[in-house]
Structures are given as C-alpha cells and as structure tokens.
Amino acid sequence: MRTILYTGKGGVGKTTVSAATALRAAQKGHRTLVMSTDMAHSLADSLGTPLGSEPTQVAENLWGQEINVLDDIRKYWGEVQGYLAGLLITRGFDDVIADELAVLPGMEELCSLMHLNEKSKQGLYDVIICDMAPTAESMRLLSLPDIIDWYVNKVMTLSKTAGGMLQPILRTAMILPEGTVIGAIQDLLSKIDGLKEQLLDPQQSSIRLVLNPEKMVIKEAQRAYTYLNLFGYNVDLVVSNRILPLALEGSFFHRWREQQNRYREEVTSAFAPVPIYEVPLMEQEIVGLEMLGRVADAIFGDKDPADILHSGAAQRIYKQDGAFCFEMQLPFVDKTAFNLLKKGDELIVEVGNIRRDIVLPRALAHLEPAGATLDNGKLTVKFPANA
C-alpha cells in the first residue's frame, strides 16, 4: 500500500493536485482513496461530487472522504476533554472557555492521523492520497507521531510505575488524571499505532509539495522541505502549479512570464534533485473529473502517480564534536571549489553553475558556518554551536 501526502501554502492547488493524482492512480487500476484533512474542505467541489465523512465512491476504483474533525474530537476526546474542562472550571475558568481550552493544540491533526491509520489498516485500498491542511498545520501533524511517542514513554510510564507512592500526591496536585481518563488517552493513542513507521518508510509513503512560482510560496515550501528532511520523511515530488502558457500574448503577460521564469530557476535550486513537475494555468478553474484528468496528464503524462518518484534524503543534520553538521547531496557536482553564503536563515551554495538555496532550521539559523567539505557528491557544512 502507498500513502501520498500533499502539502503547501494555502491556495496553491493542493486539493486540485491531490484529486488529479487520485483520479490517475484509480485509472491505473489502483483502488484509491483521496481524503481531505484540511478543515476548509474543497475536495467535494474539486471532484464535482458530494462527499461525506466516510468514503464515497466517485468513479471506478476511486473513493473520496472529507474528515469531520469536530465530530471526531467529540467522539474520541470527549472523556479527556470532560476531565480537562472540569479541572479548568475548578481553577475559575468559565464553562464555555474551559470546554474550548480542553481541546489541546494538535487534536485536529491527531484525528486526521487516526483516520489515515484506520483506512491504511483496513486493507481496502492500494493507494491513499491525503489532501492536507496548509503547511504549518501539516508540519504539526507530521511531527505529532514523534511528540506522541515521547508523551507515551514519559508520561504514561510515569503514571503507571511511579504510581504507587507518588500517585496520591500527584493527583492532589492535579497532574495525574484518573484511571478512566488514562484509559481513554491510551485508547486514542493506540489508534495511531504503527503510523509513524508507515509514514517514515519511503517504500510506503511519500510527501509531495505543491507550490506556485512566487516568492513567498517558494520560501514556505523550502521551509517545509527542510523540516520534512529533518523529521526523516521522503519528499519524492514538487508540483509547480499555475505556469503561464507561452501562448499568452502581449507585454503584460510577457512581464509575468519573465518573473515566473526567474522563480522557476529558484524552484530548481531549492529542491533539485527532487523532481519538479509543472502544471500550466488552465483557462478556467478545475472542477470535475474531466478537468482533473487534464491536470493529471500535465503532471504525470504516462507515469503512474503511485510510484516512488524519488528517494534518498537530500539533507541531514547531525551533531559532531560540539558542532552541527549540515549535510546535503550534490550528486552531479565534482568540483571542489565552491562558494558559501549565509543570508539570514538561508544558506546559498554555489558550485560551478549549480546553485542551491536552503532554508536552515531554527537550530542553525543563528549560527555562522565555519568551513565546508565536498566529498563523494556530499557537501558538509559545519556550524560551531557556540561561535
């Protein structure tokens, strides 16, 4: 089974590209489910068919689903929410506000993960495509499995083992929930069991970035790309949407196209060697299977969208002798002379006529690089931690 997740800035075309990918996967003979985990659903509009919170068949081999997060939170989090709200009310919070606050940040994302896991385990589908919320929420979703692992290991074992003697004290301090609440949390967490391994396995899962050739959009996608690499997810495709067709005449469009051409080069320097597939701006908005088929042709041609289109982490960060090392693949480069430039949180690497533009993660953004080596197509930049 393959899981493909699409993310990117709001409005760039995530839903359209997800739906087009799902349609083409279904046409290639894969039993395909496309699910939207963005609270602002537009998947049904895109497919041109009403959808529910459980899969609805849309075409041969194709099902669609729009997750209702608010229902889910009530269903799975109800008990815990009741407990937390009660706690807040005893601390003087107003009922309604307490209820609102008792939905922890990340709950929406957690519910999306639960659905994804449930549908993966059912074995009814060969491919699951996930039309995700805009980048920030998606990053939170994709970092959740790690955070939850930590939580389960630390808090849950503490509540079980340190139980005996400490429990009465902890309970009066209102740190530890009651047994039934712990049960509810464990039950909830068991619903995403195994999902982390599945999402991190490049054979099973791919993350794909959708963007438009525009400054802010590219920057946001770059940042997401850096974090995805950091978490260890496999990004196997960048879809660059709304490319102006050459047929447009006149100086107005000429200017726009020149600007796009510059940004298309930036996209290459930010994401190569991950493949970048372009989609032209169509003459109208994309609604219904026929239009989606045209988008699928533009993106994939004859290719099977369920294939792994690229693998191998392009970036890695590790600590060695007190310094952070940023390592990136530059497979087509054999020159040893290169240029390194740091501009704010960006690191620009130039080797011959190749240029790479990397958005550094927070841990490195404030550090100055001290030396770099290029060896076997691998560039390593050192950032002394206390420079």
Ligand X SMILES: Nc1ncnc2c1ncn2[C@@H]1O[C@H](COP(=O)(O)OP(=O)(O)O)[C@@H](O)[C@H]1O
286 binds, among Mg ion, ligand X, none (CB under 5 to 8 A by kind): ligand X
Q: State how far the Cα of 295 lies from the Cα of 309, in Å rounded to an integer.
A: 18
Query: Could you tell me the two tokens for 236?
Result: 């196997």
**Is there binding between residue 32 and Mg ion (CB under 5 A)?**
no
Judged by CB under 6 A, the stretch of 121-129, 170-178, 229-237, 281-289 that binds ligand X is 281-289
Tokens standing for residue 183? 């049960």
Determine if 135 is a binding residue for Mg ion (CB under 5 A): no
CA-closest candidate to residue 222, choices 354, 339, 360, 364: 360
What distances in angstroms separate CA 99 from CA 73, 74, 79, 81, 163, one per listed residue?
12, 11, 12, 7, 28
What are the angstrom distances between the C-alpha of 64 and each of 24, 28, 74, 299?
14, 17, 23, 20
Q: Distance between terminal CA atoms of the chain?
A: 47
Examine residue 16 and tell whether it contacts ligand X (CB under 6 A): yes
Q: Which two tokens stand for residue 5?
A: 């997740």
Query: Any contact of residue 217 with ligand X (CB under 6 A)?
Result: no
Residue 375 contacts which entry, Mg ion, ligand X, none (Cβ below 5-8 A, type-dependent): none
Radius of gyration of the chain (CA): 23
Q: Which of residues 196-225 bind Mg ion (CB under 5 A)?
A: none
Other beta carbons within 10 angstroms of residue 51's beta carbon come to 21
Q: What is the DSSP letter of 28?
A: T
* 61 is an interface residue for Mg ion by CB under 5 A: no
Least distance from Mg ion to the Cβ atom of residue 381, Å: 36
Q: Could you say which of ligand X, Mg ion, none residue 48 binds, taking C-beta under 5 to 8 angstroms by partner kind?
A: none
Q: Report if residue 331 touches ligand X, rule: CB under 6 A.
A: no
**Nearest approach, Cβ of 15 to Mg ion (angstroms)?**
3
Q: Which stretch binds ligand X (CB under 6 A): 5-13, 169-177, 230-238, 331-339?
A: 5-13
**Ranges within 129-168 binding ligand X (CB under 6 A):** none
16 binds Mg ion (CB under 5 A): no
| Cβ nearer to Mg ion, comparing 52 with 194 | 52
Neighbours of 191 (CB within 10 A): 17
Pick the piece of the chain touching Mg ion (CB under 5 A) from 39-47, 67-75, 302-310, 345-353. Answer: 39-47
Neighbours of 27 (CB within 10 A): 18
Rule CB under 6 A: is residue 240 a binding residue for ligand X? no
Closest approach of Mg ion to the CB of residue 75, in Å: 24
Q: Whole-angstrom Cα distance, residue 299 to residue 293?
A: 10
Q: Which of 317, 325, 318 has its CA nearest to residue 384? A: 325
Strand-strand pairing, 372-375 and 378-384? antiparallel
Does 281 sit near ligand X (CB under 6 A)?
Answer: yes
Element (H, E) at 276: strand 276-280
Binding of ligand X by 14 (CB under 6 A): yes
In angstroms, give the least distance from the CB of 213 to ligand X.
12
Task: Tell me: does residue 42 bind ligand X (CB under 6 A).
Answer: yes
Q: Which is nearer to ligand X, 12 or 207 (CB)?
A: 12
For ligand X, the closer CB: 23 or 85:
23
Pick from 174, 182, 178: nearest CA to 157: 182
In the complex, least distance from residue 126 CB atom to Mg ion, rounded to whole angstroms: 24
Measured from the CB atom, the residue of 113 and 132 that comes closer to ligand X is: 132
11 is an interface residue for ligand X by CB under 6 A: yes
Q: Which stretch binds Mg ion (CB under 5 A): 13-21, 117-125, 180-188, 220-228?
A: 13-21
Give min distance, CB of 61 to Mg ion, in A. Answer: 22
Among 37, 226, 229, 241, binds ligand X (CB under 6 A): 241
Q: Does 37 bind Mg ion (CB under 5 A)?
A: no
Site membership for Mg ion, residue 138 (CB under 5 A): no
The phi, psi pair for 271, rounded to 5°, reads -120, -15
H/E segment holding residue 326: strand 323-329
Q: Tell me if residue 272 falls in helix, strand or coil.
A: coil
**Per this entry, what is the length of the chain?**
387
Please say whether the beta carbons of 33 and 119 come within 8 A. yes
- Residue 15, interface with Mg ion (CB under 5 A)? yes
Interface positions with Mg ion (CB under 5 A): 14-15, 42
Which residues of the chain form contacts with ligand X (CB under 6 A)? 10-16, 42, 241-242, 279, 281-282, 285-286
